[in-house]
A = this chain, B = another copy of it.
Amino acid sequence: MEFSTDPTTLEWCERVQGFLDDHIRPAEKVLEEQYASAADPFDHEPPIKAELKEKARAAGLWNLFLPDEEFGAGLTNLQYAPLAEITGHSIDLAPETFNCSPPDAGNMELLAQYGTEAQQQEWLRPLLDGSIRSCFAMTEPDVASSDPNNLRTRIRRDGDDYVINGHKWWTTGICRPMTKLIIVMGLTDPDAPPGKQHSMVLVPRDAPGIEITRSLPVFGFPHHAYGGHGEVRFHDVRVPVENVLGVEGGGFAIAQARLGPGRIHHCMRLLGHAERAVELMCRRAHERATFGTPLAEQGVVQEWIADARMDIEQARLLVMKTAWLMDTMGNKGARVEISTIKVVVPRITARIVDRAIQVFGGAGVSNDLPLANYYVEARYLQIGDGPDEVHKRAVARRELRKYAG
């Protein structure tokens, strides 16, 4: 459990931070303008994204998230943590610039781990190259999707094909042109025991029968840069049986495997939001005075800043411990710790950002600062990838088992 940052990671940090400062920050306004001037922002890939990705790739800052040395940078989770945190400062641009953004990162991990060679050739290679993007169709509006056993989208075998019928939403990324692949989780065998009923299949986004009805906003934000959060209906969508990911009936197990890294990456980036919020709050506290006293000298603001620092320090250590556990015990061995940070980090980030907003007043709730966006991100993650209540239940049950009977 060595938590000091090693020299390799320190060097990576400097490079990522440098790239962020030099190239990404100045591009944020450009991105905004390119979306604003698009006829349909969802049907648009802003050129600035491609330019930045090219630069990042040339600088060797590419696919950092993948522990696999063949496909990625070969960093451990513990090494990747501070890098992901830095990308959290510029949420709409930085993760994608380094080809480390959800849901693609998670999808690439799945394809690297479970994909056949043909699947890797067809989908993983272009994803690693950044030439296409992908999405993950899991959540359904009609059932409590936090338990994947409830999912009802039907994937029925018909000869050498699967035929897919169902209704999904919160399929993030599906609404942008570059997205070519949908990983669909659905019910292949309703009679199998729980945990074996579902499978994942690879579905080309342009397959006949796919109807994207709309993109869901989050607290008013359309999330163009994410490619939206699509609501999708599958009407007799047909793919060959070779498109199953891993084995038939293996969907539940793969979903579990996928969520571990996905969740910790979210937490790492949220810490970046929180740090940036503290910085903004402190700078504002120095500049603005009320009733004749700078905010920086007012007890209530000092208390918010102190609470923020205390919360971040603790949460980051727990994220690091979880990363270390994943590195040494595997994702499964760190399952409950992942649940823990999944609850803790969004909670403290939302609180810290909320107070930073308060320090800024009207500017805080507008889009002049990234704060409202950060808040929504943190709030959403108290629901996405399993709501807090489900994760707390997992933590409590492990604790209770220690003292059972």
Chain A residues proximal to chain B, CB less than 8 Å:
1-4, 139, 141, 144-147, 169-170, 216-222, 278-279, 282-283, 285-286, 288-291, 296, 298-303, 305-310, 313-315, 317-318, 321, 337, 340, 343-344, 354, 357-358, 361-368, 372-373, 375-376, 379-380, 382-384, 387-393, 395-397, 399-400, 402-405
Chain B residues lying within 8 Å of A376, measured Cβ to Cβ, are 219-220, 365
Q: Given contacts A290-B147, A307-B392, A315-B314, is CB(A220)–CB(B358) below 8 Å?
A: no
Q: Given contacts A219-B221, A314-B314, is CB(A139)–CB(B362) below 8 Å?
A: yes
Partner of A3, one of B1, B219, B300: B1
Taken together as a complex, chains A and B put the C-alpha atoms of A363 and B139 apart, in Å, by: 11
> Per DSSP, are chain A's interface residues mostly helix, strand or loop, or mixed?
helix
Taken together as a complex, chains A and B put the C-alpha atoms of A269 and B282 apart, in Å, by: 34
Partner of A384, one of B303, B362, B392: B362
Chain B residues lying within 8 Å of A139, measured Cβ to Cβ, are 362
Partner of A317, one of B318, B361, B405: B318
Q: Given contacts A364-B383, A403-B286, is CB(A306)–CB(B396) below 8 Å?
A: yes
Taken together as a complex, chains A and B put the C-alpha atoms of A3 and B308 apart, in Å, by: 24
Partner of A362, one of B4, B305, B357, B383: B383
Contact A393 B219 (CB under 8 A): no
Chain B residues lying within 8 Å of A364, measured Cβ to Cβ, are 383
Return A334 CB to nearest CB of chain B, in Å: 12
Residue of B nearest to A379 (CB): B365
Contact A397 B314 (CB under 8 A): no
Taken together as a complex, chains A and B put the C-alpha atoms of A399 and B280 apart, in Å, by: 12
Taken together as a complex, chains A and B put the C-alpha atoms of A79 and B361 apart, in Å, by: 33
Contact B218 A366 (CB under 8 A): yes
Taken together as a complex, chains A and B put the C-alpha atoms of A318 and B53 apart, in Å, by: 37
Return A275 CB to nearest CB of chain B, in Å: 11
Please indicate which of the listed interface residues A278, A309, A380 has the most CB atoms of chain B within 10 Å of its own CB.
A309
Return A57 CB to nearest CB of chain B, in Å: 31
Contact B282 A402 (CB under 8 A): yes
Taken together as a complex, chains A and B put the C-alpha atoms of A366 and B139 apart, in Å, by: 14
